[in-house]
Amino acid sequence: MRFSLFILLFIITGCKQTDKSAFANKKQEAVIFIQPFEKFDEKLLDDLQQRLSQSLNADIKILPNKDFPQGSYYLPGNRYWADSIIHYLQKQSGEKKYYLGVTAKDISTKKNKIVNWGVMGLGYHPGNACVISTFRLGEKNNVSERLYKVAVHELGHNAGLPHCKENGCYMMDAEGKMKLDDEQFFCTKCRQFLINKSFLK
């Protein structure tokens, strides 16, 4: 009788340890909220959601359109402050919870001595918020692909990646030029970094 009780306790204890180990190895999936500002092309939003879902280890959700945050418009440049937008989005974020702002309007930031430097995107490095714009993406037939490349670039910064010097990597520094068509992949180093962060499939 005592021997049978010992066997039963061993089986129960063993099962608990196995279950705990299995859950410990399972990492939580991130959620990326795409936040369109003002009226944004729905087809571009759907394409972006699909592309991000295929490459990133995250649940991609599209939020309803919103007005730009108060104080983000810069009248002299007729642009919106990217810094103000990502600051607004960051306040809503959390662990494994990212916000990707998208707009068709021109956005800018301060760079060195230039007060109002127009950009395609800006993101915290690291952080949980970024914003991208189609304003500087050029030809309409390439906009969807270029928008995706800007998105993964800024989300890469959010995950902690710096700019990359390898030609063709999504994390290349644009340096004020249109280099998106040269970008084709995450290089081996950047890719491994994102895989280790459970950010990339």
Summarize pLDDT for 53-94 with one digit per residue, the tens: 999 999 999 999 999 999 999 998 899 999 999 999 999 887
Whether the predicted pLDDT of 167 surpasses 50: yes
Whether the predicted pLDDT of 4 surpasses 50: no
* HSE-up of residue 106 (Cα within 13 Å, Cβ side): 12
| 28-196: CATH class | alpha beta
Neighbouring CB atoms inside 10 A of 75's CB total 6
Domain boundaries, the chain: 28-196
Neighbouring CB atoms inside 10 A of 161's CB total 23
